[in-house]
Amino acid sequence: MTHRYLLRLRPAVQVHCEGGDLVVAGVDLPGMRSRQPGPGIVTLLDGLVQGGQSAEQLIECALAADPRTDVSRFYYLLSSLENKGFLTYSVAFENHSLVTLEPISRSFCFAALAHSGALRLSRFACLRREATKIVVESPLGHARVVLHDPCFCALLALLAAPRTREALAAALPGIVPQVLDATMALLVNAGVVFPCDGEGRIFEETDEALRQWEFHDLLFHTRSRAGRHDYPLGGTCRFENELSHARAVKPPMSEVRVVLYRPTSATVGPSFFEVLEARRTRREHGESPITVHVLGEFLWRSARVQTHVAADMEYPGSCEVTLRPYPSGGAMHELELYLTVTRCAGLEPGFYHYDPMAHELERLADLEEVHRKLAIDAMNASGLNQPPDVLITLAARFGRVAWKYEGVAYALVQKDVGGLYQQMYLVATALGLAPCGLGTGNSDIFAQATGMDYFAETSVGDFMLSSATDLKCAV
């Protein structure tokens, strides 16, 4: 352990008494127990709770409180706490805290910085505000660094290019060399800054796997799964006492409605495994348009509300949910279907919203330029020379998921999109239609087409549906 840093227990780690023992533990962290601790151990742990002391100062105070205890016991305790990732490390100058490293996963291990050459900022590094703190972290690391002094934001800016310690010291004369060295070691330990090779490259620029990751993808992956961070994850219902939860089914959006065909239970179609084997992406549509009858059956089989379940007010976190043909995280079913209809026998071209409870289409607008742009974008994305009969845009009411789930809300939305895509593919195949799920779409154009708040509800998926050139699997 290096002793130049001020040590403190992580905010997530607490010390509490159990009988005559002291237990040091945190949420989702392996705890440790000190059995019948003497006054020296108590003093050392109290010093770590208060913070503001180096390892040498902590042990000096512990010895003063209990001079009969072997000093190795105190070093062993500090080492054990460090190995479990329980400690934070702060750089201070003249009683002013400048930078603090906070471990955020069990895999964190502090190591001295032996590299004396150039260093460089990772392209995966992310500088942001958290409450009143400025934090820099990277999905490559297992710790975050809190910047208490704005001078260190300038340090990060300089590290966009390879810089030696001498070059950094010359550019930032206000930071004393010892503080600069200690800070660089923290940034390297956090996976934010890396040593350069002789050509000025850091390892992420030569590693074959990392070269293929984009910044936002790797950050999204590591933060929406457990293992590399300590942020809340899962069904925390953090807004339960602050915000109302959006209804499971949207209120009516239009008085102009189209009642759709409802299949009966006696309807017989191809076998399930036959449909699975026949499922393919099919971009080209047939000469005749899709019919409103078939469109009604497609939506019924894909996305209607089968069961509505009211919230149980006796249980905290309970909320209104629905069951539908496709899966959804927590049965939130936040996805809404908007249809850009360019040709459909029995249905006027226009822009519609699907009401899954009533199994009706709500007509929102004629096909204006902005709506046609949605269809044209889909056409271009799929390499076609004409738009699909129907473009189904999947929009997410994000609050339906984020109200309950923390850290994974958008990841769940994306999983739900995949589940609905597969459902629509299989239903379209069974009905002999031409289905094609798209990998991208323009959410800003969709927001303009609907006039809705981009951050409250906007598009997360697009699915083309047309008549097919053959009907091999048709019901």
- 21-47 pLDDT, tens digit each: 899 988 777 788 988 899 999 999 999
> Is residue 238 in a domain?
no
Q: Which of 111, 126, 118, 141 is nearest to 201 (CA)?
A: 118
The answer on 78 and 109 residing in a single domain is no
The answer on 423 and 319 residing in a single domain is yes
Q: Which of 87, 89, 103 is nearest to 144 (CA)?
A: 103
Q: How many CA atoms lie within 13 A of 434 on its CB side?
A: 21
pLDDT of 215 reads: 97
> Is residue 229 in a domain?
no
The answer on 397 and 338 residing in a single domain is yes
The answer on 57 and 135 residing in a single domain is no
> Is residue 111 in a domain?
yes
Distances, alpha carbon 86 to alpha carbons 182, 218, 244, in Å: 19, 26, 37
Digits of tens for pLDDT over the chain (475 positions)? 444 899 999 988 999 898 888 999 887 777 889 888 999 999 999 999 999 999 999 999 999 999 999 999 999 999 999 999 999 999 999 888 999 999 999 899 999 888 889 999 999 999 999 999 999 999 999 999 999 999 999 999 999 999 999 999 999 999 999 999 999 999 999 999 999 999 999 999 999 999 999 999 999 999 999 999 999 999 999 999 999 999 999 999 999 999 999 998 767 789 999 999 999 999 888 889 999 999 999 999 999 999 999 998 888 889 999 999 999 999 999 999 999 999 999 999 999 999 999 999 999 999 999 999 999 999 999 888 889 999 999 999 999 999 999 999 999 999 999 999 999 999 999 999 999 999 999 999 999 999 999 999 999 999 999 999 765 544 4
Full residue range of the structural domain in which residue 407 is found: 257-467
The answer on 79 and 116 residing in a single domain is no
- Tell me whether residue 384 is exposed, middle or buried, using C-beta atoms within 10 angstroms of its C-beta: 0 to 12, 13 to 18, 19 or more: middle
> Is residue 30 in a domain?
yes
Full DSSP string of 354-387: EETTTTEEEEEE---HHHHHHHHHHHHHTT-SS-
The answer on 425 and 310 residing in a single domain is yes
pLDDT of 470 reads: 64
pLDDT of 142 reads: 96
Helix extents (H) in 190-291: 208-211, 215-223, 272-278
Provide CB contacts within 8 A for 404, sequence distance 6+.
235, 236, 237, 245, 317, 319, 330, 332
pLDDT of 266 reads: 66
pLDDT of 315 reads: 86
Tell me how far apart the alpha carbons of residues 461 and 136 are, in angstroms, rounded to a whole number: 32
- Adjacent-strand bridge partners of 101: 89, 145
Tell me how far apart the alpha carbons of residues 80 and 17 are, in angstroms, rounded to a whole number: 19
The answer on 175 and 278 residing in a single domain is no
The answer on 100 and 178 residing in a single domain is yes
What φ, ψ does residue 192 adopt, rounded to 5°? -95, -35
Distances, alpha carbon 41 to alpha carbons 36, 56, 63, 304, in Å: 10, 14, 9, 63
- Tell me whether residue 50 is exposed, middle or buried, using C-beta atoms within 10 angstroms of its C-beta: 0 to 12, 13 to 18, 19 or more: exposed
> Is residue 242 in a domain?
no
User: Beta-carbon neighbour count of residue 391 at 10 Å?
Assistant: 27
Into how many domains does the chain fold? 3
The answer on 440 and 323 residing in a single domain is yes
Q: Which of 44, 60, 62 is nearest to 7 (CA)?
A: 44
Tell me how far apart the alpha carbons of residues 466 and 47 are, in angstroms, rounded to a whole number: 70
The answer on 129 and 70 residing in a single domain is no
CATH number at residue 157: 3.90.930.60
The model's pTM is 0.91
Provide CB contacts within 8 A for 233, sequence distance 6+.
224, 226, 406, 407, 408
pLDDT of 194 reads: 97
> Is residue 91 in a domain?
no
CA torsion through residues 195, 197, 201, 207, sign = negative
Distances, alpha carbon 66 to alpha carbons 33, 40, 61, 122, in Å: 19, 5, 9, 46
> Is residue 309 in a domain?
yes
What φ, ψ does residue 18 adopt, rounded to 5°? -135, 100
Among 84, 107, 140, the domain boundary falls at: 84
pLDDT of 432 reads: 95
> Is residue 234 in a domain?
no
The answer on 55 and 179 residing in a single domain is no
User: Looking at 238-349, which runs of residues are DSSP E strands?
Assistant: 257-259, 290-291, 307-309, 321-323, 335-341, 344-345
Q: Which of 323, 320, 324 is nearest to 312 (CA)?
A: 320
Tell how many helices (H) and how many strands (E) occur in the chain: 14, 23
Among 223, 239, 268, the domain boundary falls at: 223
Sheet holding 126-130, edge to edge: 53-54, 6-9, 87-93, 96-103, 143-147, 133-137, 126-130
pLDDT of 80 reads: 93
The answer on 197 and 163 residing in a single domain is yes
Among 19, 49, 84, the domain boundary falls at: 84
